[in-house]
Structures are given as C-alpha cells and as structure tokens.
Amino acid sequence: MRTSLIAAAIATAIAIPSAARAANCESDLTNPVYLQIGDTQQPLIKVLGRALRDNTPHPITLVYVTAGSCTNINALLNGTAITTTMSYVPSSVENPTWKASDPPLSCTPGVGHVPDIANSNVFVSACTQDPLPNTITQVRGPVQAYVMAVPEASTETAMTVEEAYFVFGFGALGMVTPWNDESQMFIRAVTRSTLLSWAYNVGVPAAKWKGTVPGTPGADKSTDVVNALKNSPAPAKAIGILGAEVYDQNRATLNVLAFRSFGQYSAYYPDSDAAKLDKANVRDGHYTVWSPTVYLYPVAAGTTTPVLADAKYVVDLIADRAVSPAPNFDPTDSVVSVGLVPDCAMKVTREFEGGNLATYAPAEPCGCYFDSKVATTTCAVCDTNTPCAAGVCRHGYCEAN
C-alpha cells in the first residue's frame, strides 16, 4: 500500500505541475514545441495550445514566450537561446475548467534551447532587408489588423492618415486636436509589430514616433496600452495603438477609430461597423492597416525538411494547411475565435508592409466558413453525407472553388 501511495504521488507531481514547482518545459511536458511570439498572438497560442494538448491523434505542448516581432526573428536567425520562464496551457485532464482568459502555467526552458518557431506580425522585410538563410523557412499565417483605440469616454470616431502623420510624427507640434498631448499618446517599442505596421502605413518611421511607451522599458506589452487608455486622466486626449484582436477583448472600455488611408474617400473600421466583429473591411481592403502574421522555423539547409517535425505541424495548422495525423479539432476555428482573419478568407493581399493592395483569390477559399463564424452566410452547408451541388465542401460550407 505504501509503495502504491508513493507511486501515485510521484505520478501526480509529474502530471500536474503545481505553481510551487514550475514544470520543466523539456522533461515534464508532452512533445514540447518552443515558440517565441509577438504578444498580440498570445490569445491564439493559448486557444491553439489547449486544443493541441487535447489533440489525441498527436498531442503537442506549445511553450511560448513573448517579445517583439523583430526580436523574435533575430532570435531564430542568431540562434539566441530562451532563458526566461516560459508559458503553456493545461490540458483538459489537468484542468477541465481552464479557459483562454485564464493565466497560463509556467515552465523552465531546457538549457540552450532556441525557439523552434519564431513569429513576426509584420513582414520580415519590415525588420531586416537581408534575405533569410536557406536554413529557415517562413509561412504566412492569418492576417492581423491594427487599430487606433481611444477610451470609452472619448467622442472621437475616426482618424485620417494625415492626422496620424501629424499626431505621431510631430507630437504636440502637429497641432491636431484633441491629440496634442504626447503623454496621452500610447505607442509601443520600435521592435513591436503594432508600431511597425502603423509606421509603414502612416509614413512615419517607427523610431520617429512621438508618444509614450507604457509599461516596463524593453518589456512593454499590449496590455500596458490597454491599461494606459483605461486609466487615462485625460480620456478626451488619449489614443493608443493595439492589435485588433487585443482591442476586441477590451471593447467594453475602449472604442476603435475608423481610419482613412491615403487616397481613400472615407474612413472605415476593421469591421463593417464599430459594433460588429466580422473584419469585413480588412478582408476586402477598406481597412488598410493590417499585416500577415509570419511563422518561421528551421529546416535542413536548402530543403523544406523541418528540423523539428512538430514545428511544421504547428505552423501548418495555423496556416490552414493539411497535416498528418489530422487533428481532432478545426484549427481555423482557433484562428477565427481570437479575431484573426485566415488567409483563406482574404480578398486582398499585399507584398510588403503598408504596400498597395491587390485583389486576391485564395487557392482554397474559406469565406463562407469565416462568415458563418463571425456573422451569417447564405452558403450551403455540407459534409461527407451531404456533398455540395456546386463548389467545394470546406470547413462544412460549399465554397465557390
């Protein structure tokens, strides 16, 4: 009896790492994949991480740390080991009631472990003009929109690109009312995708942006901007830059500004109106401030063979590509649920940060499915027993092709 009790205690300690005993990412977790991601992607990685831990055909544990997009790219290029405590989410067995809004668990990375996957939420060319070595491959993931947000108490509804140029390029000297107080203009550090994307779209280089970076220097987070806006002593003058999905989680206390780009006749929200969550204007190009998320992982030199097969498995799931074994969940659900737009739902594309838009027809479109998740669709439903009369059945809906 005593032996079995001890064995049970040991088994429990291994299966459920406690807060008091941080898990070892390497030895305590099933098939760990190390990710270094932008903090705007944390909601996706938490949702996807939960699904992957419960993915009985091939369970994987996503262990992640957040940093700026350019920092993440450099970590992979330079082989910079992760030395800080990492995060992961519990499986359903470990914690049945955990949800994505709950904090993650912590683990200690293996010594000298470099990221298996690096994430940038801007084009790689926004961080470095050097071509990637043939030992790293990159995959375009879902599209991430960026917004100007103001406190709920602000009466502002829109911003033109010319206003943005003067507000963030000149600061108080730009003389744009009401955004003429640099202490109430909340921006991000220069390595962050949120600032980089806005910089390219507005025409003000990231290093020249006026404003205040809230939070810990070198470790600023989106939540710091959220909190600065919420707690602003001058809400009429306050404005901040955020990832759209971060804003979506804070709609109760913040408002989004419609944005009018160069040459555009009217300003538009990322969604078809301020109350919706359909990202319609991102998809069709009326809202121009967006970037593809990019995922990079090491491959054998000059080949497409991943150094870690599970890294490719994870990236392919995020990019809505077929994987083997097939997962027991729909990864695109995870993407859509956190406010990102899968590439297969986009109708426009661009080739570099802030670049001109062009019409886009994805090879395997999922617009019907996306609409069904965020609004309504008139597309026919389908499954293996109910094939499409026309088009192709994908994610349960008959897509045009």
Partner 1 sequence: MRTIFMTVAMVAAAAVAGCGGGGGTVDKYDARAVDAGIIDATTPSDDASCFTNPTTHNEIINACTDAQPVAKDPTLPLLLDDGGLPPLPQ
174, 211, 214, 327: which one contacts partner 1 (CB under 8 A)? 174
Q: By CB under 8 A, is residue 290 in contact with partner 1?
A: no
Q: Supply 118's token pair.
A: 């690096």
Which of 248, 252, 261, 258 is closest to 222 using CA atoms? 248
40, 72, 249, 261: which one contacts partner 1 (CB under 8 A)? 261
**Minimum CB–partner distance for residue 170 and partner 1 (Å):** 6
Nearer to partner 1, 34 or 259 (CB): 259
Nearer to partner 1, 35 or 267 (CB): 267
- φ/ψ (deg, to 5) at 393: -80, 120
Q: By CB under 8 A, is residue 358 in contact with partner 1?
A: yes
Nearer to partner 1, 263 or 302 (CB): 263
- φ/ψ (deg, to 5) at 255: -120, 150
Q: By CB under 8 A, is residue 255 in contact with partner 1?
A: no
Nearer to partner 1, 38 or 354 (CB): 354
Nearer to partner 1, 117 or 280 (CB): 280
**Minimum CB–partner distance for residue 40 and partner 1 (Å):** 23
Considering only residues 328 to 357 of the shown chain, the ones binding partner 1 according to CB under 8 A are 348, 356-357
**Minimum CB–partner distance for residue 249 and partner 1 (Å):** 22
**Cβ neighbours, 10 Å, residue 401:** 11
Q: By CB under 8 A, is residue 361 in contact with partner 1?
A: no
Q: By CB under 8 A, is residue 383 in contact with partner 1?
A: no
- On whether the CB atoms of residues 61 and 33 are closer than 8 A, the answer is yes
Contacts with partner 1: how many residues (CB under 8 A)? Answer: 43
169, 362, 391, 396: which one contacts partner 1 (CB under 8 A)? 169
**Cβ neighbours, 10 Å, residue 308:** 17
DSSP-derived secondary structure for 158-206:
EEEHHHHHHHHHHGGGG--SS---GGGEE---TTSHHHHHHHHHHT--G
84, 85, 134, 157: which one contacts partner 1 (CB under 8 A)? 157
- On whether the CB atoms of residues 145 and 287 are closer than 8 A, the answer is yes
Please name the residues in contact with 217: beta carbons below 8 A apart, sequence gap of 6 or more.
189
Q: By CB under 8 A, is residue 285 in contact with partner 1?
A: yes
**Minimum CB–partner distance for residue 358 and partner 1 (Å):** 7
240 alpha carbon, distance to own chain's centre: 18
- On whether the CB atoms of residues 113 and 36 are closer than 8 A, the answer is no
Q: By CB under 8 A, is residue 154 in contact with partner 1?
A: no
124, 159, 294, 314: which one contacts partner 1 (CB under 8 A)? 159
Considering only residues 184 to 203 of the shown chain, the ones binding partner 1 according to CB under 8 A are 203
Number of residues that make up the chain: 401
Report H helices in 271-330.
280-284, 309-318
Q: For the window 33-72, what string marks contact with partner 1 as x by the rule CB under 8 A?
A: ----------------------------------------
265, 324, 384, 390: which one contacts partner 1 (CB under 8 A)? 265
**Cβ neighbours, 10 Å, residue 98:** 17
Q: Supply 329's token pair.
A: 């969940």
Q: Which helix (H) or strand (E) holds 147?
A: strand 136-151
Q: By CB under 8 A, is residue 98 in contact with partner 1?
A: no
Burial class of residue 165, CB neighbours in 10 A (0-12, 13-18, 19+): middle
Which residues are near partner 1 by CB under 8 A? 157-160, 162-163, 165-166, 169-170, 173-177, 203-205, 208, 258, 260-261, 263-269, 272-274, 280-281, 284-286, 288, 348, 356-359
